[in-house]
Amino acid sequence: MYKSKARDLFYFLIYSSVYLSFSGISMIYVSCVIQGIQPDLKLFLVIFLVTFSVYNVNRMTDEKEDSISHSERYDFTQKHGKLLLSSALLGYILAILLAMSKGVETTLVSLIPLFCGILYSVKWIPKRFKYRRLKEIPFAKNIIIAFAWASTTTFLPCTMSNVVIIRALIIYVFFFVSVFVNCVVFDMRDTEGDAISGVKTIPAVIGLEKTKKFLIRLNLLVGLLIFVLTLRNLLPIVAYWLCFATIYTHLYVVSFDKEGNVGFLCDVIADGQPMATGILVYTGNKLIG
């Protein structure tokens, strides 16, 4: 009985996007620490609610792909769809109200994921064009998602303090690449569903092995960049711990095996990368301070 309840709780956290929403909190924390900004509880709540809302709405628009590539999540969404959708709408309203209490700039930044989500998932492009949604344009899917995550988690803290340009730029690049790699890893899992729905992803175009090599090199490049900039005192010492986060990313990319337990690797390990990064930075911050 206990195993059954634990399994149900696990699936709820993963498929309801609650788990992923905690990753958003971790990214805000890391962003604050690297930029030298005091973490704010309201920002944590805003990013949690925004992530929860956007991803649950996106689940509704991705039902066709999920029914092929992720049947368990599809079944969960079918069963709890109405509750998730109403919670998502209520959550975003609450997120905007919290952001408004912090000012206009915070509110505008908190709207970035909403606008990106709409442009990404909804068929707003006229029928006379080849593509109806941005997600159908080759490679646009990964760039849009990475842009939304990096912009929100980098700039929400910036609305609360004076900005150090180099620190904001580097944490933006780190988040962008981390999310981009994460998205492509999911594409490596979802090749069948994406192909049927007409979405041309990097793995579908160049193949799994070349995709893995590309992600490994991209992740390594960012790790080296952070190491060098921290060594030159352009980033705080705690930024060295971001290099360990790139090692975490490297390990789950090279471990990807289409025949293995890719569900756990994607939904828990890959989506948990921001939380692992947050734990690393928190540990490093405590050891240094």
pLDDT in tens, 119-157: 777 777 777 777 767 777 767 888 999 999 999 999 999
pLDDT > 70? residue 201: yes
CATH of the domain at 100: 1.10.600
Number of domains the chain contains: 1
Is the CB of residue 214 less than 8 Å from the CB of residue 202? yes
pLDDT, residue 6, reads: 75
Residue of 80, 243, 238, 257 whose CA lies nearest to 185: 257
The more confidently predicted of residues 272 and 196 is: 272
pLDDT, residue 181, reads: 96
Q: 3-class SS at 131?
A: coil
pLDDT, residue 275, reads: 96
pLDDT, residue 160, reads: 86
Average confidence score pLDDT of the chain: 86
Cα–Cα distance measured from residue 91 to residue 258, given in angstroms and rounded to the nearest whole number: 35
pLDDT, residue 163, reads: 84
pLDDT, residue 161, reads: 84
Tell me which residue range forms the domain holding 16.
2-288
Lowest mean pLDDT of 28-37, 109-118, 198-207, 213-222, name the range: 198-207
pLDDT > 70 in the chain, percent: 87
Q: Mean pLDDT across the stretch 7-36?
A: 90
- Contacts of residue 11, defined as CB under 8 A and 6 or more positions apart, other chains included, come to 72, 76
pLDDT > 70? residue 15: yes
- What pTM was computed for the model? 0.89
DSSP string, 173-225: HHHHHHHHHHHHHHHHH-HHHHHHHT---HHHHH-HHHHHHHHHHHHHHHHHH
Cα–Cα distance measured from residue 3 to residue 21, given in angstroms and rounded to the nearest whole number: 24
For residue range 65-113, what is the model confidence (pLDDT) as tens digits? 555 556 666 677 777 778 888 888 999 999 999 999 999 999 999 999 9
| Amino acid at the residue 287 | L
Lowest mean pLDDT of 76-80, 166-170, 234-238, 267-271, name the range: 76-80
